[in-house]
Amino acid sequence: MNPLSQARCMTVLLPGTDDLYAWMLGGPAPVPRLTLPPGGIAPAAVLAMLREAMKPIRAAHGGGDWLILDGNEAVGLISLKAPADRGGTVEIGYGIAASRWGRGHATGALALALKEIARDPQIRKVTAETATANLASQRVLQKNGFVQTGARVDSEDGDIICWERP
């Protein structure tokens, strides 16, 4: 395993692959000794959706998704949500296994992912959205230099805060 780099809490990123999603959905581990936390990272339906969603993003950017590791344990996922638009803007999303919340993994993973994203000449700006009630995710974004740019209402998630980091 060749993680990209390391941050606090031993958080590292492993580039996403279809084999990693297959493993999280119950297939064989593509990396020796890789484990999942109790309860996994996300429900199978979410993992299956992300697996398909990443195909056009990887085709456009040669990557764009990462498995978040703490040692040999996969604790979350972080990825672009779509290929960059014509202006070079992408939205990023992330999730940490509920059993691993509060350990700094999202903050560290976002910092590492932003370094990788900065290497992509197609990308000029990164945006994100959080529910107004998700204070932990708001702190993750603030610690990584994001600023609030507005708000909107989502039919599924309710009140949303919009963020960006040029």
Structural domains in the chain, CATH included, are: 8-126 (3.40.630.30)
β-bridge mates for residue 151, sequence order: 161
Share of the chain above pLDDT 90, in %: 91
| Whole-number pLDDT of residue 66 | 98
The CA distance from 134 to 131, in Å, is 5
Confirm if 137 and 106 have CB atoms less than 8 A apart: yes
| Whole-number pLDDT of residue 157 | 87
**How do residues 46-92 score in pLDDT, each as one tens digit?**
999 999 999 999 999 999 999 999 999 999 999 999 999 999 999 99
| Whole-number pLDDT of residue 8 | 45
| Whole-number pLDDT of residue 3 | 46
For the chain, what's the residue count?
Answer: 166
| Whole-number pLDDT of residue 9 | 56
| Whole-number pLDDT of residue 5 | 40
The CA distance from 140 to 83, in Å, is 23
Q: Which of 7-16, 61-70, 92-101, 150-159 has the lowest mean pLDDT?
A: 7-16
Share of the chain above pLDDT 70, in %: 94
* pTM of the predicted protein model: 0.91
Phi, psi of 157 (to 5 degrees): -100, -5
Q: Is the pLDDT of residue 142 over 50?
A: yes
Confirm if 161 and 141 have CB atoms less than 8 A apart: no
The CB density around residue 35, as the number of other CB atoms within 10 Å, is 11
The CA distance from 38 to 34, in Å, is 13
- Output b/e per residue, 113-141; b: 16+ Cβ within 10 A: bbebbeebeebeebbbbbeeeeeebbebb
